[in-house]
């Protein structure tokens, strides 16, 4: 279902798939991630807030929307086309800014690798879903 040249079903499917991936990714890597950021499970639970989940939802939707817009604009409505946009976006905008921030924050390289891998998965999954559903 396209509206304004964006396939909204593909966008929603991409959001759901990437958000589910994120949950599984961080559940699987919870202990290494907590070690990488220097926090215990108790500290994480003590600071838990639904705001973080709302921000994550909005972020995933924005990524899916932007990827959809670029795929339509650049006539790249396939899985390969999605990858050709998503991977450079991940490298140029996510990895670069995250790595800069992590170095100034004196975060561990493990933190950067875990979080970077997560966002690579999000971008790749969204590219595949949008390419399959909208393409």
pLDDT digits (tens, 9 = 90+) for 89-117: 999 999 999 999 999 999 999 999 999 99
Determine the pLDDT at residue 115: 98
pLDDT band at 3 (very low <50, low <70, confident <90, very high): low
Determine the pLDDT at residue 74: 92
Determine the pLDDT at residue 80: 96
pLDDT band at 2 (very low <50, low <70, confident <90, very high): very low
For the cut 70, the answer to whether the pLDDT of residue 1 exceeds it is: no
Q: Are 127 and 83 in contact (CB under 8 A)?
A: yes
CB atoms under 10 Å from CB of 112, counted, come to 18
User: With b meaning 16 or more CB within 10 Å and e meaning fewer, what string describes 31-62?
Assistant: eebeebbeeeeeeeeeeeeeeeeeeeeebbbe
What is the residue extent of each domain of the chain?
2-134
pLDDT tens figures, 37-76: 999 999 999 988 999 999 999 999 999 999 999 999 999 9
């Amino acid at each position: 279902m396209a509206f304004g040249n964006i396939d909204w079903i593909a966008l929603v499917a991409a959001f759901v798939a990437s958000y589910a991936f994120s949950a599984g990714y961080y559940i699987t890597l919870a202990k290494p991630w907590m070690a990488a950021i220097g926090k215990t499970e108790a500290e994480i639970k003590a600071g838990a807030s639904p705001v973080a989940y709302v921000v994550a939802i909005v972020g995933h939707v924005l990524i899916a929307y932007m990827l959809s817009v670029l795929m339509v604009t650049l006539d790249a409505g396939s899985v390969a086309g999605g990858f050709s946009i998503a991977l450079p976006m991940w490298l140029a905008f996510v990895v670069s800014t995250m790595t800069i921030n992590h170095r100034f924050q004196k975060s561990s390289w493990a933190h950067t690798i875990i979080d970077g891998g997560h966002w690579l998965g999000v971008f790749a999954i969204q590219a595949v879903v949008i390419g399959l559903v909208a393409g």
